[in-house]
A and B are shown apart, each in its own frame.
Chain A
Amino acid sequence: MSLTRRDFVKLCTGTVAGFGVSQMFNPSIVQALEKFVPHVFWIQGQGCTGCSVSLLNSVHPSIAKVLLDVITLDFHPTIMGSEGEMAWGHMTDVAKEQKGKYIMIFEGSVPVAENGHYCILGEKDHKEYTMLETTIEMAKNAALVVNVGTCAAYGGIPAAEGNVTEATSVTKVLADNGIKTPVVNIPGCPPHPDWMVGTLVVAINAIEENGLEGGLGEVVKLLDDEGRPTPFFGENIHDNCPYLDKFDEDAYSKVFTDKDNCRYELGCKGPSANADCFKRKWNGGVNWCVENAVCLGCVEPGFPDEMSPFYEAG
């Protein structure tokens, strides 16, 4: 296993101090990860592939390491070598074999109008499979469901006002169908790669340390009321913003290019958003939304409707 302890600590701490590995379940990460390489299926409903593209930006550990060592990614429409019935059949065969043990990742929301026919994922033996049907079937027998992105977690833009497809979150589809598989939400439009890889690594480690049931129990304990892992989503952006003192002084930027003051009056939704972007930053730590413009509150269940107009103070 080439995932080093250093990689893992970096992943959990972000670019500036923060969450120590001891606060998760630590002990012998390297040793633990040597044994358990879960089968993972990643399917996409009404999304934009932005969560997948963001995942490719993972630095610690690199995405190559994640794909080659940390997980066995048996299905991912954007990167897998296979296609058509062969790919679909591989997914269903491995899922059968790994029943109760695999991790199911969802990207994008689920349209439920018209029996799910606003999103077709594939076909086998002349039968088309909708996102709705596949979500239910694949989540039912998973050990863990991970919703990446605000669409899968809360509905996101496809579920915004004006939609005609009755798009909704994976979480709601599972609840409506009585599926009890534990669910972790990793919202964000898109989520930071550390949030996705970090959550997977934490879950894999917990399962290895405590067995499947015990490990999943540990993972669920980390979640807030919106199903998000608190190590990544436990702090409010505004309360931790480097421009907070400017807010306290009522010193507000009037134009986007004024970088010295608080962005609240430009529409910043930092006060309504909980995530560690303020310390982790994005794309190798080069920037983040508030430094650049405003926070859109994309990690919250109310995104986008409750956050818009984006450029008006809340």
Chain B
Amino acid sequence: MSKSKAPAKDGKLKIAIDPVSRIEGHLKAEVTVKDGKVVDAWLSGGMYRGFENILVGRDPRDAAQLTQRLCGVCPTAHSTASCLALDDACDVKLTTNGRVTRNLIFGANYLQSHILHFYHLAALDFVRGPGKAPFVPRFDHPDLRLDEKTNAVAVDQYIKALEVRRVCHEMVALFGGKMPHISGQVVGGTTEIPTKEKLAEYASRFKEVRKFIAETYLPTVYLIGSVYKDLFSIGGGYKNCMSYGVFPMDDEGENVLLKSGVYIEGKDSKFDPALIKEYVKYSWFKDSCSDLHPSEGKTIPDIHKEGAYSFVKASRYNKKPVEVGPLARMWIHNPELSDIGKKQLKDLYGIKAVKFRDLGEDMAFSLMGRHVARAEEALIVADAINDTWLKDVKPGEDTFVESKIPATGEGIGFTEAPRGSLLHYVNIKDSKVANYQLMPATLWNTNPRDDMGQRGPVEEALIGCPVPDTGSPVDISRIIRSFDP
């Protein structure tokens, strides 16, 4: 195995964190520290399965089932992207009820994912857990600043959140069949026509979840942020971001709940799918897989490649690294902040903010800014469930349109997983999958250097990270986890 390894010298110290825990998947972070700060970073994705190759030759409809198994936290996102690609390839137009039911399924998983991320993946970065495994051991100097009483409340919330996220899964399962890995979303729509009874079950569960988000999760994020204000000024990275847009609000796909767009070097622009490419100079894939649009994409591993250090490809937009995820979506959509957010920003931070961008580029693009964005987004999705989709859904009306897999064709599906932009591409020959390419959020955020030598967004976000105690490098993983890689 060859790696990109700069030798430690000139007062520089190299630190490796492997595994980076409380993320989905396998990740190693290696950083160089000088004068108490990170001066360089390498992220290595340590696992390869090869779904792209396993899909070749199969019935294209199977892709929606198989690709869900890429991620047990966000299977509905893969199911959505895959079905969108297949809808495109089969040229089907969903019924209104099919579209809305898909939103109800996917929306419930958004809430599950955001709650899981904050409480069960990230919260131990700020909260002292119970004094037994798996909550201990911890670093000697974990920088936990909550007072005893607040900490105890937060631990109770951790336990309560386990239950609330389970309830979100029940909401998904009502129309999806089971979670993780739903059977209820297929090319042409969804398989379960919502009945009044099932909608009532969904709505009663939702009420509890909405209450938790509005009254517990969102205020707690602002409260914890006020104790860790310095974490609003680290982990910024490139301050470039992108969103494909998600949750169709009409049948023509013209309006979405969270809009698409690109923000690079301080300028907003319209998202252009033609400008996406993948690079693999530093990834364990053949160089022939580099500089390609996903519609021409190839995924051929080359595990002995000199200089490479990750199984993650480097996705770029117009050759630029861009961050994706809740922060990107909130920055691009720029919604009005929640009333709770506005009040707490004023009371706890002394900041007068109305819309998300009022936080300013420096505060929003930060470790803590990402947690705020995720919590604000959870409430927006919850409100869409409440104010729009539960009103638009029609009990008893069809959710499924029959279609035929074409002999030859291609399709592309763009969506936003809770953790960031997600694309599936399918090429069909002889009614079988001839090529299937996947671009999950990990390829956008947690990637290695590209052919131009630019660091990936998370690598860049680590630059400048304070490491006052190399034995307890807490902020490194905090930054990584803020992305929900």
Enumerate chain B residues within 8 angstroms of A64, measured Cβ to Cβ.
159, 162
Please judge, given known A-B contacts A67-B134, A283-B178, A286-B170, whether A118 and B48 are in contact too, CB under 8 Å: yes
Q: What total count of A-B pairs have CB within 8 Å?
A: 258
Among A126, A165, A259, A283, which residue has the most Cβ atoms of chain B within 10 A? Answer: A283
Question: Do A255 and B20 contact each other (CB < 8 Å), given the known contacts A292-B191, A296-B183?
Answer: no
Residues of B close to A126: CB separation below 8 A: 16
Q: Which of B28, B69, B159 contacts A120 (CB 8 A)?
A: B28
Interface of A (DSSP majority class): loop
Most buried by A among B166, B169, B177: B177
One of A3-11, A27-35, A222-230, A303-311 at the interface: A303-311
Q: Are the C-beta atoms of B70 and A308 separated by less than 8 Å?
A: no
Are the CB atoms of A117 and B21 closer together than 8 Å?
no
Determine, out of A54-62, A174-182, A210-218, A232-240, the stretch whose residues face the partner at the interface: A54-62
Q: Is A167 an interface residue (CB 8 A)?
A: yes
State in angstroms the CA–CA spacing of A130 and B189 once bound together.
41
Interface segment among B267-275, B334-342, B394-402, B420-428: the answer is B394-402
Q: Quick one: which of B1, B65, B70, B301 has the most chain A CB within 10 A?
A: B65
Measured between beta carbons, the chain B residues less than 8 angstroms from A247 are none
Stretch from B125-133, B233-241, B368-376 at the A interface: B125-133
Interface 1/0s, chain A 149-163, versus B by CB < 8 A? 000000011101111
CB distance from B154 to the nearest CB of A (A): 14
Q: Of residues 52 to 85 in B, which have CB atoms within 8 Å of A's CB atoms?
A: 53-59, 61-62, 65-66, 69-73, 75
Contact between B55 and A284 (Cβ–Cβ < 8 Å)? no
State whether the Cβ of B380 lies closer than 8 Å to any Cβ in chain A: no
B180 CB-CB contact with A under 8 Å: yes
CA distance A154 to B430 in the complex (A): 31
B360 in the interface (beta carbon within 8 A): no
Give the number of residues in B that approach A within 8 Å (Cβ atoms): 84
The interface residues of chain B lying within 8 Å CB-to-CB of A310 are 59, 61-62, 65
Q: Are B26 and A73 in contact (CB under 8 A)?
A: no
Partner of A164, one of B116, B170, B301: B301
Please measure, in the bound complex, the distance between the C-alpha atom of A80 and the C-alpha atom of B191, giving whole angstroms: 37
A56 to B399 alpha-carbon distance, docked (Å): 30
A48 at the interface (CB under 8 A from B): yes
Contact status A287-B165, CB under 8 Å:
no
A252 at the B interface (CB under 8 A): no
* A255-314 with Cβ < 8 A to chain B: 255-257, 259, 282-284, 286-289, 291-294, 296, 298, 304, 308-312
Q: How far is the CA of A52 from the CA of B70 in the complex (A)?
A: 14
Residues in A whose Cβ lies below 8 Å from that of B324:
none
Given A83-B21, A163-B54, A165-B50, answer yes or no on A119-B61 (Cβ-Cβ < 8 Å).
Answer: no
Question: Do the beta carbons of A81 and B134 come within 8 Å of each other?
Answer: yes
Instruction: Pick out which of these stretches binds chain A: B136-144, B213-221, B460-468.
Output: B136-144
Of the candidate stretches A84-92, A135-143, A197-205, the one touching chain B is A84-92
Given contacts A52-B72, A54-B72, A121-B19, contact A190 B181 (CB under 8 A): yes
Q: Which residues of A sit under 8 angstroms from B48, Cβ to Cβ?
A: 111, 118-119, 165
Contact of B53 among A118, A164, A286, A292 (CB under 8 A): A164
Which residues of chain A are near B170, meaning CB under 8 Å?
283-284, 286
Whether A114 lies near B178 (C-beta < 8 A) is no
Residues on the B chain within 8 Å of A243, using CB: none
Tell me if A245 counts as interface (CB < 8 A to partner B).
Answer: no
Q: Which residues of the partner chain B approach A308 to less than 8 Å between Cβ atoms?
A: 58-59, 62
B179 within 8 A of A: yes
Q: How far is the CA of A308 from the CA of B58 in the complex (A)?
A: 8
* Closest residue of A by beta carbon distance from B54: A162
Q: Could you tell me if A255 and B400 are in contact, using CB atoms closer than 8 angstroms?
A: yes
Question: What chain A residues lie within 8 Å of B163 (beta carbons)?
Answer: 62
Tell whether A286 pairs with B180 under 8 Å between CB atoms, given A119-B26, A308-B58.
Answer: no
Are A117 and B139 interface neighbours, CB within 8 A?
no
- Of B48, B56, B172, B201, the most chain A CB neighbours within 10 A belong to B48
Quick one: which of B18, B56, B181, B400 contacts A162, CB cutoff 8 A?
Answer: B56
Question: Whose C-beta in chain A lies nearest to the C-beta of B140?
Answer: A86
> Which A residue's beta carbon lies closest to that of B184?
A292
Asked whether B382 is an interface residue with its Cβ less than 8 Å from the other chain, the reply is no
Quick one: which of A46, A67, A257 contacts B47, CB cutoff 8 A?
A46
- Binary flags per residue of A59-98, CB closer than 8 Å to B gives 1, else 0: 1001110011000111111111111111110100000000
Question: B307 an interface residue at 8 Å Cβ cutoff?
Answer: no
Contact A56 B66 (CB under 8 A): no
Is A250 engaged at the interface, CB distance under 8 Å to the other chain?
Answer: no
Q: Which of B16, B139, B173 meets A286, CB within 8 Å?
A: B173
Cα separation A47 to B48 with both chains bound (whole Å):
10
A123 to B169, CA, bound (A): 34
* Bound form: Cα–Cα A167–B201 in Å: 41
Residue B192, interface by CB 8 Å:
yes
Q: How far is the CA of A110 from the CA of B186 in the complex (A)?
A: 30
Q: A77-B19, A120-B18, A157-B49 are in contact. List 9 more A-B contacts (CB 8 A).
A: A52-B72, A67-B134, A82-B137, A82-B138, A83-B21, A84-B18, A118-B303, A156-B69, A284-B166
Task: Pick 30 A–B contacts, CB within 8 A, sort by A.
Answer: A45-B47, A46-B49, A48-B71, A48-B180, A50-B71, A56-B120, A64-B159, A68-B132, A73-B134, A74-B134, A80-B135, A82-B21, A82-B134, A82-B138, A82-B139, A84-B20, A118-B48, A121-B19, A161-B54, A162-B50, A162-B56, A165-B48, A190-B180, A257-B193, A283-B170, A286-B174, A287-B173, A287-B174, A296-B183, A311-B59
Closest 7 CB pairs of A and B: A50-B72, A292-B177, A120-B46, A309-B59, A256-B191, A282-B178, A283-B173
